[in-house]
Amino acid sequence: MSATTPETPTKLQLLELLAAIGTAQWRDFAAAAAHHGLTSTQAKVLAQLNGPLPMRALATLLVCDASNVTGIVDRLEGRGLVRREADASDRRVKNVVATDEGREVIRRVREEMQATHGALDTLGAEDSATLYGLLARLRPGMENNA
């Protein structure tokens, strides 16, 4: 740490650093998504689809109204990147599922995040493992309180 930064950072300093990194990562994600003709929100939807996900759950993840999700999913569906399926246990519920093409597009978006990859490339194997462990410890508390 530098001479101007205390050895043990304050929570505020940690929050500011996390916010700065998150903002830069999001900007990189949005730029890579745009190369594929996607808005950052459309790409975020694709990134969330590791399996079938109800429309209402997508709205919760995106922190938006369910009616907004309908338009986003309509556009993704029009491009063949997602499809809607009736839920097996409740036919009234519509699940959104990424198509093979949708999974390929989001894989390429993540692969093309040059600024993020470049920043991570500055870490050695030990630092990468340490960072991964720390972020993995933070994740449950952040996601459970969302």
Closest by Cα among 39, 49, 37, 22 to 115? 22
Task: Report the alpha-carbon distance of residue 119 to residue 28 in Å, rounded.
Answer: 11
Check if the beta carbon of residue 119 is closer than 8 Å to that of residue 127.
Answer: no
Q: In terms of residue numbers, what domain contains 69?
A: 11-112
- Once rounded to an integer, what is the mean pLDDT over residues 6-29? 93
Q: What is the pTM of this model?
A: 0.84
The pair of structure tokens assigned to 14 is: 């940690």
The answer as to whether 123 is a domain residue is: no
40: in domain: yes
The structure tokens listed for 84 are 């809607």
Q: Count CB atoms within 10 A of the CB of residue 62.
A: 16
In this prediction, residues 133-145 reach a mean pLDDT of 86
The domain that contains 80 carries what CATH number?
Answer: 1.10.10.10
Work out the pLDDT band at 7, boundaries 50, 70, 90: confident
pLDDT at 32: 97
Q: What local confidence, expressed as pLDDT, does residue 3 receive? A: 54
Quote the number of domains for the chain.
Answer: 1
Asked if residue 70 has pLDDT above 70, the reply is yes
pLDDT tens for each residue of 39-64: 999 999 999 999 999 999 999 989 98
Does 130 reside within a domain? no
Beta-bridge partners for 94? 86
